A and B are shown apart, each in its own frame.
Chain A
Amino acid sequence: MRVAVVVFPGSNCDRDMHHVLSEFGMSPEYRWHEDGIPGGTDAVVLPGGFSYADRLRAGAIASHSPVMDDVRRLADDGVPVLGVCNGFQILAEAGLLPGALVSNDEPGFMCRWTEVVVGSTGTPFTSRFSGGDVLGIPVANGEGRYHADERTVRELEDAGRIVFRYAGDLNGSAGSIAGVCSEGGNVVGMMPHPERAAEPDVCPPGAAPMAPLFESLRAAAAA
């Protein structure tokens, strides 16, 4: 399974994502943001980091990168697209996902493990979870508060497009939203870092809570 890991200037979780995708038996390939995404790509991941150092707004400059034309086209074609942290911010800035990511209600960078509740399992990244599962996962961001108007949040809820919610109020996110998906379900954005919670060695003892996300993706390609 070929997964494009898009590298923007300032991406810094690209190698982490590459490592975990490999660990789960997939074939990740780095794609520089000025180069296109080749045909035959089975999935696209926009990793975390600080594209353009978050200048102007997190994700604002990268959302104009040449590669985003290909990402948009593949998303329209139903190819699985995952944006994590800065990747989610870029997808939101590019209009591929609804809402915006703004400064946490307690300003400043926040790095800690938290818990999310699994919402929709109808995406290529969540089929191996059970809805309602409460799982540990780390967050690391300064602009991670999900913002959308009430109507949008309600629509997302009604359409089953909330993929992960924080188990408590972490940062003031509307609807405690940690991750959402596109109408078709194939584009998922999430602020917490699943690649940091996929191997037992780096997780609090005895678990790799986000392993199912990568197993889901592998299964989606096999299907």
Chain B
Amino acid sequence: MPEFAITVTIRNRPGMADPEGETILRDLVLRGGGSGGASGGIPGGISAIRTAKALEFRVSAGDAAAAEDLVRRVCEEMRIYNPLVSEAVFSAGSN
């Protein structure tokens, strides 16, 4: 059976706070790097940063859809993410 790489991107559901993204935006990016940074000045045009956790599963399965189904099921059963808080996006890439 072929092997697939299924990437699961877990991030807070829309409308949920994302304190880490907000801190990286406010205290780092919008400050333009402050001291000693290589960059000069505040980059324009950036209005939001959202953080996420990415997990790459390597799965042997008949096809990409089956691999994705398996990963989806495992993520739900093992509570890899809590659907009350987070959403997960599954994407398949074959190797």
Direct contact of A and B (CB under 8 A): yes
Residues of A within 8 A of B24 (CB): 55-56, 61
B43 smallest CB distance to A (angstroms): 14
Partner of A64, one of B19, B23, B35: B35
A210 smallest CB distance to B (angstroms): 30
Query: In chain A, residues 38-77, which have Cβ atoms closer than 8 Å to a Cβ of chain B?
Result: 52-53, 55-56, 60-61, 63-69, 72
- Is the Cβ of A69 less than 8 Å from the Cβ of B35? yes
B17 smallest CB distance to A (angstroms): 13
- Is the Cβ of A55 less than 8 Å from the Cβ of B23? yes
- Is the Cβ of A69 less than 8 Å from the Cβ of B36? yes
- Is the Cβ of B36 less than 8 Å from the Cβ of A52? no
- Is the Cβ of A9 less than 8 Å from the Cβ of B27? yes
**Interface size (A, Cβ < 8 Å)?**
17
- Is the Cβ of A67 less than 8 Å from the Cβ of B20? no
CA distance A52 to B22 in the complex (A): 11
**Interface size (B, Cβ < 8 Å)?**
12
Partner of A52, one of B23, B33, B35, B37: B23
Partner of A53, one of B23, B28, B33: B23
CA distance A215 to B36 in the complex (A): 32
**A94 interface residue (CB < 8 Å to B):** yes
- Chain A, residue nearest B34 (CB): A64
B5 smallest CB distance to A (angstroms): 23
A40 smallest CB distance to B (angstroms): 21
- Is the Cβ of A52 less than 8 Å from the Cβ of B27? yes
- Is the Cβ of A72 less than 8 Å from the Cβ of B19? no
**B31 interface residue (CB < 8 Å to A):** yes
- Chain A, 203-220, contact with B by CB distance < 8 Å: what is the 0/1 string? 000000000000000000
User: Which B residues contact A (CB, under 8 angstroms)?
Assistant: 19-20, 23-24, 27-28, 31, 33-37
Interface pairs A-B: 7 shortest CB-CB: A64-B34, A68-B35, A55-B23, A55-B20, A69-B35, A61-B28, A66-B35
